[in-house]
Structure 1
Amino acid sequence: MIHEIDDALRSLIGTRALPGVITDIEFAAPTRNWAARRNSPTVNVYLYDIREEVGRRERGPVPVRDEDGRVVGRRQPPRWFRLSYLVTAWTTRPEDEHRLLSALLILLLQHEILPAEDLTGALRDLNLSIPMTVAVPPPESRSLADLWSALGGELKPSLDVVVVAPFIASPEYPVGPPVVEQTVEVREPAGSVVDSATRNYRDRTP
């Protein structure tokens, strides 16, 4: 699923944030060596943290439906994980980087979920809303300054983008075919009023 989230972010940023200005969208760690090799306006989307949303964990099987809405299988509910991305802009001038960050912020603030048209593969087939937040202060256990220190680079303005994505934790197993018709058979128990009347009628018949 992670690569499909990457593809969705690439599609969202590449087609809606200053088209024609951003020439590259990369997911590599923005280290000092990486920055030295950059030679064109670039948006870096670096995945730096993965944590489960334990509060969203569910129990019990969920149905899997076909295109007609019929239940064709069952599986355990997906597990949800927070994917945290460090989004930065890279150009030769700080003013241009700020312009790119402003465009990215305006774009991402318009979407509380990843747009369905940008989802692909299994992520699209799940037909679930994928929440997304931008520039929300990270937990105290995480420091962006420490992150930049670990990357070996200088502190740089960035956007913290968090996507909460579903992951299928169990295989799908089939179920029996759906019931499309039924037959109801009514039987009168022995000793009932109807049964006694039927015997009396037969006794009087010549």
Structure 2
Amino acid sequence: MIHEVDEALRRLLTESGLEASGVDVVFDAPTRDWAARRTAPTVCVFLYDLREDAVRRGSGTEEVYDEEGHLVARRSPPRWFHLTYLVTAWAGRPQDEHRLLSQVLAGLAAADTLPARLLTGSLAELGLTVALDTAGTGLDAPEAADVWSALGGELKASLGVRVRAPLAGVTRAVAPPVTEGLVVRSAQRVDGSAQRVDGSARDGEGGGTAPGRRLRYTETGDPGAEGFAAPRDRGPAPARRRRGERRP
């Protein structure tokens, strides 16, 4: 999920005109060594904090059905996480950096959510809203000054960007519906030995056979040439009941 948020942010910044201006968008840590190696105008989007939104944690499971309406899996609800980024602009002069940072601010502040067309992978499959908060107040994350101190770099102008994104739940497949009948084969003990219904003896010598028994289907007339144990077509899926609805 994290790399999918990165890609959505990169696409959003690219649409704001950075690519046409020849500006690189990277997700590296803006350390002192990294800054010394930079050679082109760059926007750095550094992820420095990740924590779960426990208030939005759900419970229970969601049923997953196939195209024919049969239950095929159960999935736990998604869990939501806050991803906090430090966005900085790097150029030859402070004036150029401020102009570049202003362009980034305009592109990010225009959107309260990451557009669905920019989402990929699990974010696109879930179809849930991915919230975007740019330079908001009260970000529950370390202060920018503390981040710069940990990186060993000098404090400079930056934007705090927080994304609230879902992490897909765990999907567990369920057993497929039964489409074949069951055959019950019994064995009898003759002279202290177990005898199978096909006439072959086990646990010693013995004689005599016992007929097998087949489970009967209700309201079934002719079982066909292969008997009641033959594979049968899977019928239509039963109508789903709403929660709290009683069976007729």
TM class by shorter chain equals 0.7 to 0.9
Determine helix, strand or coil for the equivalent of 1:148.
helix
Residues of 2 paired with 1:77 and 1:5: CA distance?
A: 19
Higher Rg: 2
**Residue aligning to 1:166:** 166
Higher relative contact order (CA 8 A, sep 6+): 1
Between 1:73-82 and 1:62-71, the stretch displaced more is 62-71
1:149-188 superposed matches below 5 A = 149-174=149-174, 179=237
Check 1:173–1:93 CA distance in 2 against 1; reply closer, same or farther (3 A cut). Answer: same
Q: Does 1:99 align with 2:157?
A: no
**Residue aligning to 1:24:** 24
**Residue aligning to 2:83:** 83
1:80-159 superposed matches below 5 A = 80-139=80-139, 142-159=142-159
Residues of 2 paired with 1:113 and 1:93: CA distance?
A: 32
**Residue aligning to 1:53:** 53
Identity of aligned residues (%): 51
Q: Does 1:12 align with 2:70?
A: no
Gaps of 5+ in 1: 182-206
* Runs of 4+ in structure 1 over 4 Å off: 65-72, 138-141, 174-178
Residues of 2 paired with 1:179 and 1:168: CA distance?
A: 27
Check 1:46–1:70 CA distance in 2 against 1; reply closer, same or farther (3 A cut). Answer: farther
Gaps of 5+ in 2: 178-235, 240-248
Report how many aligned residue pairs link the two structures.
Answer: 182
Spell out, residue by residue over 1:177-196, the C-alpha distance to the aligned partner (whole angstroms, 9 max, x if none).
77267xxxxxxxxxxxxxxx
Spell out, residue by residue over 1:4-24, the C-alpha distance to the aligned partner (whole angstroms, 9 max, x if none).
111111111112244422431
Give TM-score, length-normalised by structure 2: 0.66
Determine helix, strand or coil for the equivalent of 1:155.
coil
Q: Does 1:42 align with 2:100?
A: no
